[in-house]
Amino acid sequence: MVKTACYIHIPFCDHKCIYCDFYSIITSDNIQSFLDCLKKEISYYAEKHSADRELISIFFGGGTPSLMEPDYISEILESIKKNFKVTNDAEISLETNPGTVSLEKLKMFRDAGINRVSVGIQSFDNNDLKFLTRIHNSETAIKTINDAAEAGFKNISLDLIFNLPGQTKKKWIKNLKQAVQLSVKHISAYSLILERGTILNKMVIDGKVKIADEDYDAELYQTTIDLITSNGFYQYEVSNFAKPGFECVHNNAYWHYTDYLGFGTSAHSFIDGKRWWNLSSLKMYIDKIEQYGNAVAGSETISPEKAINEYIMLELRSSGLNIKMFENRFGNEGRDWLKKKYPYFELLKDQNFVLIDDGLIKLTSKGYAVCDKILSEIL
């Protein structure tokens, strides 16, 4: 059986944050129609891919999946389990926004089959939250984590963003200290990225907001690594930290170039070396599903050269490049690539950017800080 991940994109939101570029809509229209089409899409791909596959993770992203009623999420899960083999220990995650859940609702999500919640806090500072146009405050954020623990969730993750406009190092450290004190097993800490088409990007272009330079961003990132890893977490990817045994199975599937199926608006899939993606528009998605059973907007077959580049990029961003696994996967092309690049890896080792030990090439914390630059040189 081929281990496969599954992503479900729920597009509905009650508010569009200024920095977000994920497909989302602020409406309650077509919620039932979307559910009906989602089940049709799941059934359509099950006929093609369910026979020799088992799902190791199911991840509800968005949008704001926690805005939905637990019965709605339960119905989607039932459809997946009816059409695909799901492992008994599958990780089933729900992106959750403070302000959209209560203790009782979290208990109902757990009863529905969710066993991991990823809470989009972004900051514990109320001024930061107001700037980001989040609907919650710091008190609500902390309460959501505590409620999730009380509801019985053993696997809780939270997201934070650093290098926000006006965010001092002192303020960021306060954020991190608050995060590690909570009942969480996983922390994602991302540098603010200006995405084209977002309100925030336009604010920066118009000169209304100023973003700190790369040196300050790198300083905050190193602070992030030092503080989180000194509190019982370890860094297993550029932006992700976990208590041992609580690495995100779903994210690891992406980073280790595992096959995945995506359902819903704008969702991407990657199966047997082919990648495809769905239409983003909810109306177009519904229309195409009703007609054809799928909502594919485009696709590509990954060339051997591109596959090697993508694999290297993902492995180095995460737990490191296992040389034996790389050569087994890519054969002579992989061996030739590694022979050509190995002197550069040796140079990076001498400069303490990578460790090379027991057949594994892994970035150090110093290497993680300049990961994009290293990858651009290698690839």
Q: What is the mean pLDDT of the chain?
A: 93
Orientation of helix 70-83 relative to helix 31-49, angle to 10° = 20
Return the amino acid letter for 240: N
Q: Are 146 and 182 in contact (CB under 8 A)?
A: yes
Residue 220 dihedral angles phi and psi, to the nearest 5°:
-65, -35
Mean pLDDT for the stretch of residues 217-224: 94
Angle at 235 between CA 221 and CA 327, to 5 degrees: 115
The pLDDT, as a whole number, for residue 137 is 93
Distance CA 176, CA 323 (A): 35
| Interval 312-339: pLDDT, tens | 999 999 999 999 999 999 999 999 999 9
The pLDDT, as a whole number, for residue 58 is 98
Mean pLDDT for the stretch of residues 214-223: 91
The pLDDT, as a whole number, for residue 379 is 85
pLDDT at 269 over 90: yes
The pLDDT, as a whole number, for residue 14 is 84
SS3 10: strand
SS3 165: coil
pLDDT at 203 over 80: no
Residue 121 dihedral angles phi and psi, to the nearest 5°:
-85, -50
Closest CA to 114 of 1, 268, 10: 10
Q: Which residue has the higher pLDDT, 21 or 325?
A: 325
What token pair was written down for 52? 């020799």
Note the residue count of the chain: 379
pLDDT at 207 over 90: no
Q: How confident is the model at residue 142 (pLDDT cuts 50, 70, 90)?
A: very high
Which class for 173: exposed (0-12), middle (13-18), buried (19 or more C-beta within 10 A)?
A: middle
Angle at 300 between CA 294 and CA 306, to 5 degrees: 145
44, 88, 319, 365 alpha-carbon torsion, rounded to 10°: 110
Please tell me the least confidently modeled range out of 25-34, 53-62, 139-148, 359-368: 25-34
pLDDT at 364 over 80: yes
Task: Give the global pTM.
Answer: 0.94
Using only the alpha carbons of the chain, give its radius of gyration.
21
The pLDDT, as a whole number, for residue 212 is 74
- Give percent of the chain above pLDDT 70: 98
pLDDT at 298 over 80: yes
The pLDDT, as a whole number, for residue 197 is 75
Q: Are 79 and 100 in contact (CB under 8 A)?
A: no
Q: Are 79 and 39 in contact (CB under 8 A)?
A: yes
The pLDDT, as a whole number, for residue 192 is 81
The pLDDT, as a whole number, for residue 61 is 96
Q: Are 190 and 220 in contact (CB under 8 A)?
A: no
In eight-state DSSP terms, residue 163 is: S
- Give percent of the chain above pLDDT 90: 82
Orientation of helix 103-112 relative to helix 70-83, angle to 10° = 10
pLDDT at 165 over 80: yes
| Interval 31-80: pLDDT, tens | 999 999 999 999 999 999 999 999 999 999 999 999 999 999 999 999 99
Orientation of helix 304-317 relative to helix 323-350, angle to 10° = 60
Would you list the DSSP string of 206-242? TTSS----HHHHHHHHHHHHHHHHTTT-EEEETTEEE
The pLDDT, as a whole number, for residue 131 is 81
Q: How confident is the model at residue 214 (pLDDT cuts 50, 70, 90)?
A: confident
Closest CA to 92 of 59, 61, 123: 59
pLDDT at 107 over 90: yes
The pLDDT, as a whole number, for residue 87 is 98
Mean pLDDT for the stretch of residues 221-239: 96
